Chain A
Amino acid sequence: MTQKQLIETVQQHHPNLGETQIRIFLNKALDEFCRKTRILNTIYTFNTTADTRYYDLDDSIAEVTRVDYDGYEIPRLVGKPEKTDVS
């Protein structure tokens, strides 16, 4: 269904609700559905830079399930390194 069709379906029940309000509800529903069902999966690729420890995650990532470094799966560290480095 397109966004227009979804809005029309909602307006059959709530003819006085505006498109903006319905769009807020639909966006909340879509986020909650994706988070709870984990239905959409994807991969992101980037290259490391020497002496850089942190790399920003894309806003659309809900959960990281696996990380590969140079083609090999690497383990998730429990906790954080002892020595802080915020670079």
Chain B
Amino acid sequence: MSVDQRTAALKKVYWLERDAIGLAMVSSTDSSADYISVNEAKEVTIHAVKLDEDFVASGTGITMTESPAIPAEFHDALAKYAIAKGYELNPQTLQVAQYFNKEWEMCIREGKKYANKGRDGSGYHIKQYDY
């Protein structure tokens, strides 16, 4: 890639608004605006955290014979959440619901550790994110 290509790319910015991504470039010709729309066709790559597909009875999604994409060791966490919610439907079993909710929270903590740990076994680290 040429230096010009790099310089041109680095003048672009993005922001998120109304479930869409906005892309613009620093305005050097139009003095009435700080940023103007991009005027070329270039490839944009979005790196993102994604949600899994929904469980479905049939059709598009996770069908009855398929498994979610999250690692297998966390699959039973989903059942724990559903079990807790089931116990919450009856006021007499709220204590049991609390037990399963605690189990669920523990799985979330383990999931966070798993997500932040390198697959080579490198140490646990906290990622910083923009908000």
Interface positions of A (Cβ within 8 A of B):
1-4, 6, 9-10, 13-14, 17, 19-20, 22-23, 25-58, 60-72, 74-77, 79-83, 85, 87
Contact = CB atoms under 8 A, between A and B. Distances in A.
Contact of A54 (B20, B44, B47, B115): B20
Contacts of A10: 79, 82-83, 86
Given A40-B49, A41-B47, A83-B32, 9 more contacts: A9-B83, A10-B82, A36-B111, A41-B50, A43-B46, A44-B45, A45-B46, A60-B53, A61-B50
Interface of B: 1, 5-6, 8-10, 12-24, 32-35, 37-57, 62-72, 74-79, 81-83, 85-87, 104, 107-108, 111-112, 114-115, 127, 129-130
B31 to A, nearest CB: 11
Interface of A is mostly: mixed
B129 A65 contact: yes
A16 B25 CA distance: 58
Nearest to A4: B64
Given A6-B78, A27-B55, A37-B111, A80 B47 contact: no
A35 B52 CA distance: 10
Contacts of B70: 30, 33-34, 39-40
B42 A70 contact: yes
Contacts of B54: 27, 30
Contact of B51 (A13, A40, A79): A40
B34 A63 contact: no
